[in-house]
Structure 1
């Protein structure tokens, strides 16, 4: 987001000991948490969005455990290393369940800047279906064969699960955690967000269509492959999804700006 408001507000509030790059990353991530809240992608104080700290190898930003997404601000995000150790001062702990998933992905995928995990009703419902995501809708076709699966092993607090999760993810940026929820990653916050939004919409439409009890109209493999090649939100690398995310960010700034503090 290049709006003048972000630059001025971010610099005014930045602690003197923090780099501008880290503060800008904090503002963007805090905005993302607030956008999730507006979309209803929340699960009380649970779930996580993590982002790397620019210029600091192996350092991540994560939400403080105990706060709702609408309470997240740039300054109360917690900086941790890949082992979950808190770096610097924090008034809040971090959730060990989130660390297993997020630290595993960040460690295994250096191409990943941001990792998002949700328990939305639609996403978790599709995760409970034996056949998982059905490709026969507009949004699912755009991520045709781009979604990995990982079997449920219980609440994700056991570090021994990390290698299996990473192996199942491979080089894909979307994953359905069976009986659990959704996972998305990207080279930037906007690219991860747009990938997750597409998967979320695919799940919502699938469930709505299945509730009619009518057979689904199949999408041909050729059409699905064409859709996945033409989806604009996935064709710009690190800038993928920037226009969508910035539009939501502008709407957020019109109504609330305390996340910048």
Structure 2
């Protein structure tokens, strides 16, 4: 599924182009994960003031209210001056004076939700439990270590939970743990301060590098201009089961944690 870098890459690919656009109409197709929350045509006449990201959510700030968009497991956004007639998996169109924003989502686990504000109950339900942003200044190394000391679960699971730091999904958790030399099965509470500092830096580095590479295209991800990402071409461990470690040459191992695949090197990540 699209992770934080892919969502940020998507945001960057259309945020400047849609800012200031006046909404002319909106169309909802088949039901998505959550209801829109108002008649789509009630959006007509409103203005898109900007596009932000919170974790894996995109927030379209309107002059009245906010639209929360989530790409789910297989969703993608396109923004163009015009779009062909909606196809089977095109479930939301926002027609504006500067182009059409379209959500394509074959599995329909994504969502478009309207809220009067970020303090509205539905917005708080979706965003209120999210941890700090890993690429922002609020991601403090000391606070990160203090939060890990309170968790006995394996560090990979703690990172995926998203309440300590948001958006470090499956791909990038494996990559950051490799870079920090930490085994994914180690209890978060047992990670020393020096090692937590390395992990803190690794999370920032891996996510920033992924954004710079356009994200990862493992199946069908593309940004709002239809461009693929290339981070997966330089992944150190993710999806490389049995292949030699790029550092020590040992075979990369794959295990299951919480029904998710975890990749690591038994030599470079001794504990």
TM-score range, shorter chain: 0.3 to 0.5
- With normalisation by structure 2, the TM-score equals 0.32
TM-score of the aligned structures, taking structure 1 as reference length: 0.33
Higher relative contact order (CA 8 A, sep 6+): 1
